[in-house]
Structure 1
Amino acid sequence: MLTIDDLDVWFGYPPDRVDAVRNAAFSVAKGESFGLVGESGSGKSTILRAVAGLIDSWSGRIEVDGHPVHARRRDRAFYKTVQMVFQDPYASLHPRHSVDAVLSEALSLQGMDDIDRRIAKLLEDVGLGRGFRFRYPHQLSGGQRQRVAIARALAAEPRLLLLDEPTSALDVSVQAEILNLLTDLRAEHGLTYVMVSHDLAVVGHICDRLAVMQHGRIVEVMSVEALRKGAGEQEYTRHLIAASG
């Protein structure tokens, strides 16, 4: 579903250019959930943003479902296939747009019809009743806002969801609810996930495999089983696992 090869991502121009990601390579199978982990600033979210089209200063190869992605242009078909859920549900929803307006706009942008029925179905899919439809973000909890953000991403009926720390801004009690929701949605809709997280427990809960990043490079790709056993091949990976325990 996603192939990344020899990916470099940078910001700025020489002599001030910063190389945020260097020589990254991994692939994610259809239906798989793949994690990107590492300390803050290691390049995890930068990869996600390059895939999503939010950063165009990159070189290398990005393919989605076998189709090459270009740095400076994305068509509607891309956004029907790929959607992103951001870290902060407070910042990602417009404060003066109701849930109905947010979902209506997302559906309209994708050229969907029967919007009324689709909104009801999206709210049901993310565990929010119809009573939430005409509420505004300030009337919702953090977990409810993130459910709306997930519903907005699902409006396009994508097959690949990019999840950028989707639970880190939430209370611990709510984190598990959102992770369980994401697990259920993946099974129900046959979704593929790429999830960025600094929390190895979160990745262990939802992912099949993961890549460990350090200083903009992928140092190791491993299975979640190896993660649970603490069986990293690289010293940095073992350090990361020990620190999370």
Structure 2
Amino acid sequence: MPSSDNATLNKSPIALDIQNLNVYFGEGHEKFRAVKDVSISVEAGGSFGLVGESGSGKSTVLRAVSGLVTNWDGTVAVNGEPISKKREMSYCRTIQMVFQDPYASLHPRHSIDRTLSEPLRLHKFDNIDDRVNQALIDVGLGTSFRFRYPHQLSGGQRQRVAIARALMLEPDIMLLDEPTSALDVSVQAEILNLLSDIRKKRQLTYILVTHDLAVVAHMCDEIAVMSHGEIVEVMDVETMRQSKPQHEYTRELLEASEGYQPEA
């Protein structure tokens, strides 16, 4: 059999397929197209990065996929099934999102136990106590954190709770919106390593938004570079490591990224 046929047979199914996505803000003459004809495909079990400067539209793509932004057109398919702007409750069991600021994303008056157990109750999971305890162990906190509150935790510990919450419903796809940028440098690597380990253990698909090229070099297989709401280049991470982009904006982004080392 030809090698091209082998490659086709070995190729993973597409977990997330976005085609010609446009996202709008405002109404009437103030309507603004923040995302312009974005198309990406992410294989199941893959890790795909969206990079670019602040305001480039990368986080807006995630919010459209998650359902937090509804004024969009184009097509979005998850595991081969097109999704609409109005999401069913069951959608939460397929896709979950981890936000940039772990303190803002956790309810300050809810204990960690309530934060983790509430989605399980809403979706009628059983063995809630065991699931909560195991989730805390899986993110490196342990069961002693179960009845604490967000203000009693460090930034890194809060983000571990946010990751645990995203995992509670056993999703296939995780949307990661700058998951380490609000954290101290000393704990950023710990959270990235945790996310890498979880992805391998659970065979998850990641879509990671970041402005930090060192993060995508560590986390991702493929990246799309965004500028002014558009994708200007898609490349594998090895091409980025070798500093061999095709688009001038990507070259400028690589040169401007402080601390990025292609060989890292």
> Post-superposition shift, 1:110?
2.2
State the AA in 2 paired with 1:65: N
Query: 2:177 is matched with which residue: 143, 153, 164?
Result: 164
> Post-superposition shift, 1:216?
0.3
Number of the residue aligned with 1:197: 210
Query: 2:93 is matched with which residue: 70, 80, 88?
Result: 80
- The yes-or-no answer on 1:20 pairing with 2:20 is no
Larger RCO, structure (CA 8 Å, separation 6 or more): 1
What percent identity do the matched residue pairs reach? 62
CA RMSD, aligned part only?
Answer: 0.7
- The yes-or-no answer on 1:6 pairing with 2:20 is yes
- The yes-or-no answer on 1:145 pairing with 2:158 is yes
Number of the residue aligned with 1:37: 51
Q: How does 1:46-195 map to 2 (within 5 A)?
A: 46-71=60-85, 73-195=86-208
Provide, for residues 169-191 of structure 1, a one-character-per-residue CA deviation record: whole Å limited to 9, x for no partner.
Answer: 00011000000000000000000
Secondary structure at 1:8's aligned position in 2? strand
Matched length: 244
Secondary structure at 1:15's aligned position in 2? helix
1: CA distance, partners of 2:89 / 2:126: 16
TM-score if structure 1 supplies the norm length?
0.98
The structure with more radius of gyration: 2
> Post-superposition shift, 1:150?
0.4
2: CA distance, partners of 1:42 / 1:170: 22
- The yes-or-no answer on 1:210 pairing with 2:226 is no
- The yes-or-no answer on 1:228 pairing with 2:241 is yes
Runs of 4+ off more than 3 Å: none
Number of the residue aligned with 2:7: none
- Structure 1 unaligned spans of 5+: none
Provide, for residues 90-121 of structure 1, a one-character-per-residue CA deviation record: whole Å limited to 9, x for no partner.
Answer: 10001111111101112112221110000011
2: CA distance, partners of 1:116 / 1:156: 14
